[in-house]
Structure 1
Amino acid sequence: MLEALRKIVQEVNSAPDLESVLRVIVRRVQRAVRTDVCSIYLLDPATQRFILKATQGLNKKSVGQASLSRSEGIVGLVGERAEPINLEDASKHQAYSYIQETGEEKFHAFLGVPIIHHRELLGVLVVQQEAIRRFDETEEAFMVTMSAQLAGVIAHAEATGSIGKLDDVKNKGKTDRKFEGVSGCVGVAIGQAVVMTPLADLNGVPDRQAKDIELEKEKFQNALASVRKDIKKVARSLSKRLRSEERELFDVYLRMLDDNALAGEVVAQIENGNWAQGALRKVVEEHVRQFSLMEDPYLRERASDIRDLGRRILTWLQSSAPSLAEIDFPENAILVADELTPAMLGEVPTDKLVGLLSVNGSGNSHAAILARSMGIPTVMGAVDLPYTRIEGMQIILDGFSGRVFVNPSDDLLQCYQDIIDEERQVNADLEGLKELPAETKDGYRMPLWVNTGLVTDVARSLDRGAEGIGLYRTEIPFMIRDFFPSEQDQTETYRRQLEAFAPRPVTMRTLDVGGDKPLPYFPIEEENPFLGWRGIRITLDHPEIFLVQIRAMLRAAEGLDNLRIMLPMVTSVHEVDEAKSLISQAVSELREEGVKVVQPQIGVMVEVPAAVYQVRRFARRVDFISVGSNDLTQYLLAVDRNNPRVANLYMSYHPAVLRALQFIVQEAHKEEVTVSICGEMAADPGGAVLLMAMGYDMLSMNATNLPRVKYTIRHVTIEQASGLLSTILSMDDADKIHLLIRDTLKKWGLGQFTRPTIPD
């Protein structure tokens, strides 16, 4: 059964569309269970009826025709109960409903299992047999396992079913095809998809119309020649150490590259209009699929050889491709990637970028946080989006709801264009706030700082009236390089931030890599990176990296004296003491070298539960406390903020998170130490009101949202904010808390800062 399951899943994964997926399932399951019938009924969201979509054993003409309501028949009962139903004679059951056109009257034994994906009922998988008998436990277990394994595949195939080649979609007209993700940055974008190809990853190569077919063929032939040369070189160097049968593998590789084999098929695909990389992917995928389905283990393993060969050719093709900065972006580009990275965002020409779309990641990933600082509408975690097939298509990106529409209709385009126009008007109304303080109607002053990291953040932050930098992400300059930046390089980078904001304070977080922020030249392989080697743990283990960075910060602040140094991911006072000792060492060294260094303020980030309960101990050792609410929420709720599968469980307004935030500020103030917050909660107008009521001394946020938060604070009283906080702290449901905040903002006349009405 396990081997049968493996083969079915393997074959299903390589099926090109939903119909093929369903046909494979019913055929293979019927054979594996040795039963007379296997059928799949899928629930149609529009009609709320179970429709027979594929069958092996029933009348083929009934496929697409036979249907049952959600409450009809045993199929409906399986869906209603969301559990298997195993009957030795289905016709005797009170829920039995006979569908004449299927020809199922002669079948008695019935076993149906629900197909459920992320709590959503997709359909029912059914096996039937003429004999009157009950399917045994092994068969039932196999069916349940099969349903669970295939639910995601079916959901993905169903979601991508209407997306074909660009030419096909153009011919068919507008589709309004919708894909669900999560919001990364609010706002709406309408533009053209530009798909980024991951390095040496065939699965991520998009289909793209070749601009010059002869040039694409030439690129491919050059890549082939390079790969042939590489293989021959490796074969020669290993010839004395390999047996003759092992040396023959290299000959097999070379034969695959012949014009009559794999190479010839790629050329044919290029001549059909696909660019070289897309043609290569298509041919390799088909060969891999064919080899993977073979019964012979030796031949089946050849699929990995094909895949390896494809990666080698792709690497050479990509080496001659233009860099991200050299790509000719359309004027309204929506950057699409399997996974957005901070390095990508640092290279893209932002003047042509209107939106960002990532298949993986979540609304709280580091890339999404940077997108918010850039003010670019972003959707993350659109896991069902067939992103390799949408190059050049028109897209609506809805950063409010996390939806993406491919090839939208004119009516939908107009609807979203109206929302864009409304947003522009709101932003225009906020432009006059720059010189005004964030002060409530009853005189309570709330300093608003910004989070920065990209070079473009500085001008944007000053333009919006930022009073300081609460978080400068020093890892960004590290991420967009191929090696660790020198002390001088870092000094020049930090000086630009400090000079631009002087005399206003600039809080520089020491290198915070690991987790979702890897360095390409300093790889960290871990089972669970968020609970691993990251933040202060890395820099204390590498004092040579830490000291160079601290020296650069101190040198950059010479004569400005507006530097604050912040330590990330601290969990113990020992880490704080050790870091302070190294900072003192750097101060002493520079003074000996003649640099006029002023001892900077030192603070810690509270972003893990262990730090929450040591706030007073930290406060006795440092000058300020800053809360990183993004990571703190993640760790308190045990929710990976990069995982779109559990994105709905990441709740900034969870009662436990709110209680922790209030406890931190209360404990720090007992030691008369200031407390700021630099997580994304501060950038939400409703969240800012609550944090102000809790007593936070500064709020730090992305520059894009700063005017909205300032406007909100200027239109409420501290008494109103405190009353709302008091009510919310008595509540125990995050969704109800979020709803109350939204309704309260509307009641206060601040409804423009809540989510706009979006077409369903």
Structure 2
Amino acid sequence: MLDILRRIVQEVSTAANLNQALEVVVARIRAAMQTEVCSVYLYDADSKEYVLMATEGLNKKAVGRVRLSTSQGLVALVGAREEPLNIDNAPSHPKFHFVSETGESPFNSFLGVPIIHHKRLMGVLVIQQRESRQFDQGEEAFLVTMSAQLAGVIAHAEATGDILELHHQRGVRRRSARFAGVPGAPGVGLGVGYVITPAADLSSVVDKEPESVDAEVLRFDRALHDAQDEIRHLGQQLSGELRPEEMALFDVYLNMLDDNALGAEVRQRIRDTNNWAAGALRQVVMEYVGHFQMMEDVYLRERATDIRDLGTRILAHLEGCDTQLDIDGLPDDTVLVSEELTPAMLAEVPTDKLRGLVSVQGSSNSHVAILARAMGIPTVMGVVDLPYAKLNGRPLIVDGYRGRLFSNPSDELREQYQAIYEEEQALQQDLLELKDLPAETQDGHRIPLWVNTGLITDAVRSLERGAEGVGLYRTEVPFMMKDRFPSESEQQKIYHQQLKTFAPNPVTMRTLDIGGDKALTYFPIEEANPFLGWRGIRVTLDHPEIFLVQIRAMLRASEGLDNLRIMLPMISSVNEVDEALHLIYRAHAELLEEDFDIVMPDVGVMIEVPAAVYQIRELAARVDFLSVGSNDLTQYLLAVDRNNPRVADLYQAFHPAVLSALSMIARDAKASDTPVSVCGEMAGSPLGAVLLMAMGYDMLSMNATNLPKVKSVLRGISQRWAQQLLEEVMQIDSAPIIVSTIQLSLEKAGFARLIGPNLTATQ
């Protein structure tokens, strides 16, 4: 059966269209299972009917004409129950419905299985025969497996329009195809798909011994310099859209391409392995990619995309490929689509033609998503199972709020999203007026709003949105950009730039968070269970020489500014805090002895593992502040990777268990008289911010993009109103109902525009 299944899947994948694929399926399944009938009924959500779309064994004239309501027959029963139905006397079943056009009355045995794609019912796959018997477990399992394969085929057909044309020919109302990803940048964009692919393929490069090693080194140097020129040119094309601080991202790329960085490694590999330039390039780049892809921190894991893109561009120049995009062929309303979008790809498209971005791979932490947020381009990342290669020229809608992509949208859907787009444009203008106003409730409660940053590119944009400080600055980036640990002086310069940009406002720097599956290329770590392994504070405490150098660099960077706060990640016990504090005080004492004039900064811990939730009072007795990493805490509490689109719907920031934990943390911190903040995405949601303020959190830190909306909502309510809402939702045991309750309350209070567009009518 496995061999048969493999052959069917292969044949279906090469079918010219959905009609041909369905005909292949029914014919091959009927033959493989030696049954008399095999049929496919597709579910039309608009008319709420099952339509016979292909059959082998029933009357062919019934195809496209037989339609069953959701209450008619065994097919409808399978769809309603969303589980297989296997019976040996179909006509005697109370749900049996005779359809004269099919001529199915003599068939007694019936096995039907639902066709489901990402929880959405696509149709029903049926086999029948005259002999009265139940199909065995093996036959049932085979049909279930085949239906799962068929679900993907149907979903792809929706995206490319095949299913719409098929339905339209047979009188079924057209409908759009929807694909789920993760939000990359907020907003909605309407346009035409333009698929962009890399000019070269690193994975296809083979190793080969060159005729001359020196000639290969020279050939590589020319390609490297051409790639550097290309990156400079692409950066210049965006210079009118981005501030100089944001353009620093392209400087990071150029540093990676430096003769002393990636270039030096490839040259050495050519000589050491006697490999031609393309093979040596592939080896070096894929080693880096492998290290980055193993990392747990999604922000750092996304750097694999940047490394691969740079390697691909060098390879394209090695192979003499044309890397220039045909700008003349771009639609005026381009939605850029790729398997893996990169900032360099983004820079190739004139911004006045760009309406949205869609990437099969990647997350909200991708550099391209970071730039998209800065440029205000709606973006959806991580759209799994998307037949992206077939979307060229297709009308698309990008929903960057919910992380959804619509292909071939109906006129009604286009009108709904066009209205949302126009409303959002007007809202952004209104929010700019709040920049210099404090986040203060109507009854006088003041709550500072800070930002999370990872690159210096975030800093200026954050200040222009009204940020009052940095609640989380990731310090891993300098470590990722080198082939060795950066020196104390190198780190000091980077940290000083961040501190100076925000001075006198506070900047909270998280100490190095590596280890487990987040290994540096020059500090590899292999573990069976990296998520619960040697990582974060555990690594740096085991290597005090790394920790001390970083702390010294932070302290030196703060000299004369005095706005540094140090935060310890992944704390699970008070012993870890005690050890870290001992090293921090030691570093401070050393610098004082060296005649540095440095004030001892506040030190805090991140609350992001469940163990820390139950040690708040003990931790608070040792540190100056607490900060909840709500993203990681939610993931650990619910055992859900929020960046995995397949389980993303299980990640519920408003899950009752999460709210209970957050409330407990705030209560215990307040009892210990210790400031406590939140630096996760929940703080950046107007819904979450209202609850967190009501719980008693002293500060909220978020993405700069979300800050104006949060400020507007908090300024429009009273603390007492928020506390009453909190009391209500803490009695609810369902996350969706909690979200709906908060939304309804804010809408009644007049904040419908600020809690996100009304997307309930858009599927």
**TM-score, L = length of structure 2:** 0.75
| Structure 1 residue 3: Cα displacement | 4.0
Residues 704-743 of structure 1: CA distance to partner in whole angstroms, max 9, x if unpaired? 2212222222211111111111111122221121112111
| Structure 1 residue 566: Cα displacement | 0.9
Alignment partner, residue 502 of structure 1: 503
Map 1:139-150 → 2, pairs under 5 A = 139-147=139-147, 149-150=148-149
* Cα distance change, pair 34–346 in 1 and its aligned pair in 2 (3 A): closer
1:28 aligns with 2:28: yes
1:162 aligns with 2:167: no
Residues 475-521 of structure 1: CA distance to partner in whole angstroms, max 9, x if unpaired? 34445667654443332221111011111110011233579977677
SS of residue matched to 2:663: helix
1:126 aligns with 2:126: yes
SS of residue matched to 1:737: helix
- Please tell me the residue identity of whatever aligns with 1:82: E
SS of residue matched to 2:713: helix
User: Mean alpha-carbon deviation: is it higher for 111-120 or for 175-184?
Assistant: 175-184
- Contact kept? 1:159, 1:385, Cα under 8 Å: no
Alignment partner, residue 756 of structure 1: 757
- Contact kept? 1:685, 1:753, Cα under 8 Å: yes
* Cα distance change, pair 31–680 in 1 and its aligned pair in 2 (3 A): same
- Contact kept? 1:449, 1:470, Cα under 8 Å: yes
- Contact kept? 2:548, 2:587, Cα under 8 Å: yes
- Contact kept? 1:665, 1:694, Cα under 8 Å: yes
| Structure 1 residue 560: Cα displacement | 0.9
Alignment partner, residue 81 of structure 1: 81
- Please tell me the residue identity of whatever aligns with 1:48: K
- Please tell me the residue identity of whatever aligns with 1:747: K
* Cα distance change, pair 178–86 in 1 and its aligned pair in 2 (3 A): closer
Map 1:629-640 → 2, pairs under 5 A = 629-640=630-641
User: Mean alpha-carbon deviation: is it higher for 584-593 or for 661-670?
Assistant: 584-593
SS of residue matched to 1:644: coil
The whole-number CA distance in structure 2 between the counterparts of 1:691 and 1:549 is: 32
* Cα distance change, pair 717–139 in 1 and its aligned pair in 2 (3 A): same
Map 1:331-346 → 2, pairs under 5 A = 336-338=337-339
| Structure 1 residue 449: Cα displacement | 1.1
- Contact kept? 2:360, 2:386, Cα under 8 Å: yes
Alignment partner, residue 108 of structure 1: 108
Map 1:352-363 → 2, pairs under 5 A = 355-360=356-361
- Contact kept? 1:18, 1:161, Cα under 8 Å: no
* Cα distance change, pair 152–551 in 1 and its aligned pair in 2 (3 A): farther
- Please tell me the residue identity of whatever aligns with 2:137: E
The whole-number CA distance in structure 2 between the counterparts of 1:152 and 1:514 is: 39
Alignment partner, residue 446 of structure 2: 445
- Contact kept? 1:373, 1:452, Cα under 8 Å: no
Alignment partner, residue 19 of structure 2: 19
| Structure 1 residue 625: Cα displacement | 0.4
- Please tell me the residue identity of whatever aligns with 2:40: I
* Cα distance change, pair 740–313 in 1 and its aligned pair in 2 (3 A): closer
* Cα distance change, pair 315–374 in 1 and its aligned pair in 2 (3 A): closer
* Cα distance change, pair 100–631 in 1 and its aligned pair in 2 (3 A): same
- Contact kept? 2:18, 2:154, Cα under 8 Å: no
| Structure 1 residue 617: Cα displacement | 1.7
The whole-number CA distance in structure 2 between the counterparts of 1:512 and 1:361 is: 21
Map 1:409-558 → 2, pairs under 5 A = 415-479=416-480, 485-513=486-514, 529-558=530-559
User: Mean alpha-carbon deviation: is it higher for 316-325 or for 389-398?
Assistant: 316-325
Alignment partner, residue 52 of structure 2: 52
The whole-number CA distance in structure 2 between the counterparts of 1:134 and 1:749 is: 60
* Cα distance change, pair 530–199 in 1 and its aligned pair in 2 (3 A): farther
Map 1:705-744 → 2, pairs under 5 A = 705-744=706-745
Residues 397-434 of structure 1: CA distance to partner in whole angstroms, max 9, x if unpaired? 12234332346678765654443332222222222222
Map 1:228-377 → 2, pairs under 5 A = 229=208, 316-317=315-316, 336-338=337-339, 355-360=356-361, 376-377=377-378
- Contact kept? 2:122, 2:151, Cα under 8 Å: no
* Cα distance change, pair 129–415 in 1 and its aligned pair in 2 (3 A): closer
Residues 685-705 of structure 1: CA distance to partner in whole angstroms, max 9, x if unpaired? 221121111111111111122
1:403 aligns with 2:404: yes
- Contact kept? 1:193, 1:392, Cα under 8 Å: yes
1:136 aligns with 2:118: no
- Contact kept? 1:361, 1:643, Cα under 8 Å: no
Map 1:658-673 → 2, pairs under 5 A = 658-673=659-674
| Structure 1 residue 627: Cα displacement | 0.3
- Contact kept? 2:88, 2:133, Cα under 8 Å: yes
Alignment partner, residue 285 of structure 2: none
SS of residue matched to 1:34: coil
**TM-score, L = length of structure 1:** 0.75
Alignment partner, residue 626 of structure 2: 625
- Please tell me the residue identity of whatever aligns with 2:711: K
User: Mean alpha-carbon deviation: is it higher for 312-321 or for 13-22?
Assistant: 312-321
* Cα distance change, pair 717–319 in 1 and its aligned pair in 2 (3 A): farther
The whole-number CA distance in structure 1 between the counterparts of 2:337 and 2:480 is: 20
* Cα distance change, pair 453–325 in 1 and its aligned pair in 2 (3 A): farther
The whole-number CA distance in structure 2 between the counterparts of 1:578 and 1:347 is: 46
Alignment partner, residue 217 of structure 2: none
| Structure 1 residue 609: Cα displacement | 0.8
* Cα distance change, pair 594–515 in 1 and its aligned pair in 2 (3 A): same
| Structure 1 residue 357: Cα displacement | 2.8
- Please tell me the residue identity of whatever aligns with 1:459: V
The whole-number CA distance in structure 2 between the counterparts of 1:535 and 1:163 is: 49
- Please tell me the residue identity of whatever aligns with 2:79: G
SS of residue matched to 2:428: helix
* Cα distance change, pair 407–46 in 1 and its aligned pair in 2 (3 A): closer
SS of residue matched to 1:752: coil
- Please tell me the residue identity of whatever aligns with 2:565: R
The whole-number CA distance in structure 1 between the counterparts of 2:598 and 2:143 is: 70
The whole-number CA distance in structure 2 between the counterparts of 1:366 and 1:633 is: 24
SS of residue matched to 1:582: helix
The whole-number CA distance in structure 1 between the counterparts of 2:482 and 2:321 is: 17
- Please tell me the residue identity of whatever aligns with 1:539: T
| Structure 1 residue 349: Cα displacement | 9.5
Alignment partner, residue 64 of structure 2: 64
The whole-number CA distance in structure 2 between the counterparts of 1:615 and 1:178 is: 44
Count of paired positions: 651
- Contact kept? 1:51, 1:67, Cα under 8 Å: yes
- Contact kept? 1:526, 1:532, Cα under 8 Å: yes
- Contact kept? 1:604, 1:626, Cα under 8 Å: yes
| Structure 1 residue 7: Cα displacement | 4.2
* Cα distance change, pair 128–316 in 1 and its aligned pair in 2 (3 A): same
* Cα distance change, pair 749–118 in 1 and its aligned pair in 2 (3 A): same
- Contact kept? 2:113, 2:143, Cα under 8 Å: yes
- Contact kept? 2:200, 2:321, Cα under 8 Å: no
User: Mean alpha-carbon deviation: is it higher for 518-527 or for 592-601?
Assistant: 518-527
Alignment partner, residue 280 of structure 2: none
- Please tell me the residue identity of whatever aligns with 2:645: P
The whole-number CA distance in structure 1 between the counterparts of 2:32 and 2:162 is: 32
Map 1:175-194 → 2, pairs under 5 A = 177-190=177-190
Residues 366-416 of structure 1: CA distance to partner in whole angstroms, max 9, x if unpaired? 987886677653324432422233357664312234332346678765654
1:600 aligns with 2:601: yes
* RMSD between superposed Cα atoms in Å: 4.0
Alignment partner, residue 304 of structure 1: none
| Structure 1 residue 104: Cα displacement | 3.4
- Contact kept? 2:517, 2:525, Cα under 8 Å: no
- Please tell me the residue identity of whatever aligns with 2:77: L
| Structure 1 residue 607: Cα displacement | 0.9
Give unpaired runs (5+ residues) of structure 1.
165-173, 204-222, 235-311
User: Mean alpha-carbon deviation: is it higher for 588-597 or for 134-143?
Assistant: 588-597
- Contact kept? 1:184, 1:380, Cα under 8 Å: yes
